[in-house]
Amino acid sequence: MNKRVIAIGLAGCLTMGNVSIVLADKITDVNVKNELENPISINTELEENEIKVETEIIKPNIDGAEIDIKIPVIKGLKDSQYQEELNHLIKTHTEENIKKFEEDVEGLKKLDIEWKPQMIVGYDVKSCEDILSIVVDTYIFTGGAHGSSRRDYYNIDIDKNQTIQLSDLFKDGSDFKSIINDQINNEINRQIKDEAKSYFTDDEKFVTIDDSHDFYIDKDGNIVITFQPYDITPWYMGHPEFKIPNKSIAHILKDSESTAEDVNFNKITINGKEVKLNTPMFKSEKGTIMIPFREVAESLEFKVTWDGKNKVASMNKEAVSAGAYVGGDKYYFSKAFVYLEEESKLIKGTTFVPISFIEQVLQGETTITNDGMLNIKY
């Protein structure tokens, strides 16, 4: 994903935890005058375009309830009509929630309750660069073991002045869902094993994302896949999030500087040393760069072995052991299984693994330079 340099004003996109430090308040009430002060100013390098995220405070008159509602108001987009429609959409969502909350509170008054109903709405500006990502967080409590919490995600392409969904970030025909699904499943398995986290199993377990799945862009430009409570976890796990590092999907991002077609398939750089490959890399039907397992492993000073009976290619060095179950998407690191978006392949006696093997299995780093050179650091 290309990143233009974004100059953030003195305020910048300041955040504290999950709540934005808002520098501009617009108060909406029946008898209250609207005022704007010190808006958050996000200056992009787009000519004559200054993006501002201001705060509107809504104070509905609902007796007996605790209410704190702050919603974002976006200003400075080149397409003023789109901007107006977007702000209207954000406000309408909140107004619909207020109406439902007010009806619930009126019903509770007849029950002589001992608790105070709550409605709290806030927002967080997650990214201020090519894509403006805003998360609106709504919490409502009207009784029971706990309240209800929902997050709505608004991702705006600043240059094109349009709302985007997850699939818009990827090249046509790329199998981005499989790649991201594998990363999410691997992280879920790690959290269950290492952190004793709870995720649903059987029919309620995570299966796949879709084209319009919830996401935002973080401050470093990475995609973060998100879930609502109860989607894949019990309530107490909150809103699970999974960061998808750009470097692991750079070859399928629409705006990436280098593509699989640009790569020099005959040589790579490993830990700063150029290596000429006897067996060149290639691009799979899914668009994944496939690298020769043995040549890369030996260049990293691993000992490579082949289990012909079980069709497992392994690499070992000191306490590190990793490998591929050839012909499938199953790989391993130490004693843990890892599943990648692409199956390993055995072609004319050479085992090939996807480039993501370096990062997601070995925990190394890969980058592709502007001149098409694949760099591996481990």
Return averaged pLDDT per consecutive 10 residues of the chain, 378 residues in all.
31 34 36 34 43 94 92 94 96 96 88 85 92 96 89 95 95 87 91 91 92 95 95 94 86 64 77 91 86 95 94 94 95 92 92 93 85 84
**Tell me, what's the pLDDT at 31?**
28
Q: List domains and CATH numbers for the chain.
A: 7-164 (3.30.565.40), 169-250 (3.90.640.20), 259-377 (3.30.457.10)
**Tell me, what's the pLDDT at 252?**
82
Q: Which residues have a Cβ under 8 Å from the Cβ of 357 and sit 6 or more positions away? A: 291, 293, 324, 331, 340
**Tell me, what's the pLDDT at 262?**
54
Please name the residue that has the structure tokens 């509170």: 105
CA distance 294 to 238: 43
Question: DSSP for 14-66?
Answer: -EETTEE--S-EEEEBTTB-----S-EEEE-SSTT-EEEEEEEEE----TT-E
**Tell me, what's the pLDDT at 225?**
97
Q: What are phi and psi of 359, to 5 degrees?
A: -85, -45
**Tell me, what's the pLDDT at 10?**
27
Instruction: 265-271: list long-range contacts, CB under 8 Å, 24+ apart.
Output: 267/373, 268/296, 268/373, 268/374, 268/375, 268/376, 269/373, 269/374, 269/375, 269/376, 270/296, 270/299, 270/300, 270/375, 270/376, 270/378, 271/300, 271/376, 271/377, 271/378
**Tell me, what's the pLDDT at 256?**
57
Please name the residue that has the structure tokens 């390098």: 45
CA distance 51 to 130: 11
**Tell me, what's the pLDDT at 17?**
32
**Tell me, what's the pLDDT at 129?**
82
Overall pTM > 0.75: no
- Asked if 225 and 212 count as a contact pair (C-beta separation under 8 A), the reply is no
Read off the DSSP letter of residue 310. T
